[in-house]
């Protein structure tokens, strides 16, 4: 099972502030621990919403709204993806998150399970599964090429 740990944004991250040297070191140690345990898939920090956009589909047209966005409760500062055997194991990894990098008081991490092909049942045909597998292989090659 794959899970995404969604890291909430903060006023500091929205101002473009980056982590301290200690926070970088603590996060790297945490990711290395997950890697040694065989659960780490990926993790990234995100630029502030001032460098982003929201895209909606309204009246049969795409509408682009440039950031920044002020709805602090909805801002994401980063994410980690882990592959574990259960929701409980995923929760345990969140509980190990470095204390120097926890969200501001009142802000929460969000843990979301990522769909796997078997979650879709018979409507996700063998042909569609094969097509997706080929796309993922191509995407991995693209990523490896940088």
What is the per-residue pLDDT across 30-65, written as a single tens digit (0 to 9) for each? Answer: 999 999 999 999 999 999 999 999 999 999 999 999
Q: Say whether the peptide bond before residue 107 is cis (omega within 30 degrees of 0).
A: no
Confidence label for 17 from pLDDT (cuts 50, 70 and 90): confident
Q: What is the pLDDT of residues 70-93, one digit of tens each?
A: 776 778 999 999 999 999 999 999
* Mean pLDDT of all residues in 141-146: 88
Q: Give yes or no for a contact between 97 and 20, defined as CB atoms under 8 angstroms apart.
A: no
Supply the pTM of this predicted model: 0.88
From residue 3, how far is each of 7, 111, 119 by CA, in Å? 13, 7, 14
Q: What CA–CA distance (Å, rounded) separates 57 from 79?
A: 26
């Amino acid at each position: 099972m794959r899970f995404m740990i969604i890291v909430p944004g903060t006023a500091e991250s929205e101002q473009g502030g980056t982590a301290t040297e200690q926070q970088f070191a603590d996060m790297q140690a945490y990711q290395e621990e997950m890697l040694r345990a065989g659960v780490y898939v990926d993790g990234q920090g995100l630029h502030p919403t001032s460098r982003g956009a929201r895209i909606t589909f309204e009246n049969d047209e795409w509408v682009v709204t440039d950031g920044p966005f002020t709805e602090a409760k909805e801002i994401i500062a980063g994410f980690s993806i882990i592959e574990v055997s259960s929701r409980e194991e995923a929760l345990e990894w969140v509980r190990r998150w470095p204390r120097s990098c926890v969200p501001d008081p009142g802000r929460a991490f969000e843990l979301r399970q990522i769909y796997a092909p078997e979650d879709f049942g018979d409507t996700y045909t063998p042909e569609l599964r094969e097509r997706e597998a080929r796309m993922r292989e191509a995407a991995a090659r693209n990523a490896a090429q940088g």
